[in-house]
Amino acid sequence: MGELSIGSTKSVTICIPAYNEAAVIAKVVQEASSVLEQTALRGEILVIDDGSVDETWSILSALQKVIPALQIRRHELNEGIAATFTELYQWAANELVFLNSADGQWKMSTLLELLPMAKQHDIIIAQRIDKHYTLCRRIVSWLFNALPLVFFCTRTYDAGSVKLVRREVYDIPLLSSGVFNEAERIIRARRRGFRIGVKSIEHFPRLTGKSSGAKPRLVAEAMRDLIKCWLDIVILRRN
């Protein structure tokens, strides 16, 4: 599709983490397949079932028989979102990587909005126009993006949102083991000269499941990782 204006880019990977998403996973994967066809790029759809206890895996297994681009993996036990993200990034083989959730808050068509920016940027962040969060989650999200500016003089814009990223960015070593690794990647990529772009997108209420991003354990883990990264990047000057 010429209107996408994506230059020499030839391939893209769509990554989807899933946990107890039986109600929506078929729709999400079918939408991903449709969007992939619209890009006219060589592509793949990677889904990791992170230890679901509902019918998510059986639905994915059936979909794999009719959607050639779909590849699936399953965790026997729930390993958490950060570990699942990391595995998806490492598994992806194509030039560009687009990770989206299965909860319906970001439309798969967001990929079509970000692709034209891939000529000039290595990381394109889909910045949410309005976040459908509780007050507590809004505060956590604000801090998640404000603190990197204070500690590292780097804007992360909306680190917890979906992104379109050049595959080599995921080869940057990270210290963070939790959700702060999304912000850390942007910080280190900027310092290494990768180009960061931002596109405002619509954000929608969850179709299923319950948000867990503001759990005290995850917040504490993110703060610990932020301090570790500050010591490594600012004090020891390791990019």
The CATH number that applies at residue 74 is 3.90.550.10
Residue 162 domain-assigned? yes
- pLDDT (tens, 9 = 90+) of the chain, 239 residues, equals 334 545 677 999 999 999 999 999 999 999 999 999 999 899 999 999 999 999 999 999 999 999 999 999 999 999 998 899 999 999 999 999 999 988 888 899 999 999 999 999 999 999 998 776 778 878 888 888 999 999 999 999 999 899 999 999 999 999 998 889 999 999 999 999 999 999 999 877 766 655 555 678 888 999 999 999 999 999 999 98
Residue 1 domain-assigned? no
Sign of torsion over alpha carbons 49, 55, 58, 61: negative
**How many beta carbons lie within 10 A of that of residue 155, not counting itself?**
17
Chain position carrying tokens 């990391």: 86
Question: Domain span at residue 169?
Answer: 9-235
Interatomic CA distance for residues 57 and 20, integer angstroms? 9
Q: What pLDDT shows up at residue 211?
A: 53
Q: What pLDDT shows up at residue 100?
A: 94
Q: How far apart are the first and last CA of the chain?
A: 38
| 96: β partners | 12, 166
Cβ-contact 64, 73 below 8 angstroms: no
Residue 94 domain-assigned? yes
Cβ-contact 132, 204 below 8 angstroms: yes
Q: What pLDDT shows up at residue 3?
A: 43
Interatomic CA distance for residues 28 and 45, integer angstroms? 11
Q: Return the closest-CA partner of residue 164 out of 14, 16, 10, 46.
A: 14
Whole-model pTM: value is: 0.88
- Per-residue DSSP letter, 168: G
Residue 200 domain-assigned? yes
Interatomic CA distance for residues 110 and 38, integer angstroms? 12
The first and second tokens of residue 227, run together, are: 């301090």
Residue 3 domain-assigned? no
Q: Which run of H or E residues covers position 165?
A: strand 163-166
Residue 17 domain-assigned? yes
Residue 132 domain-assigned? yes
Residue 41 domain-assigned? yes
Number of structural domains (the chain) is 1
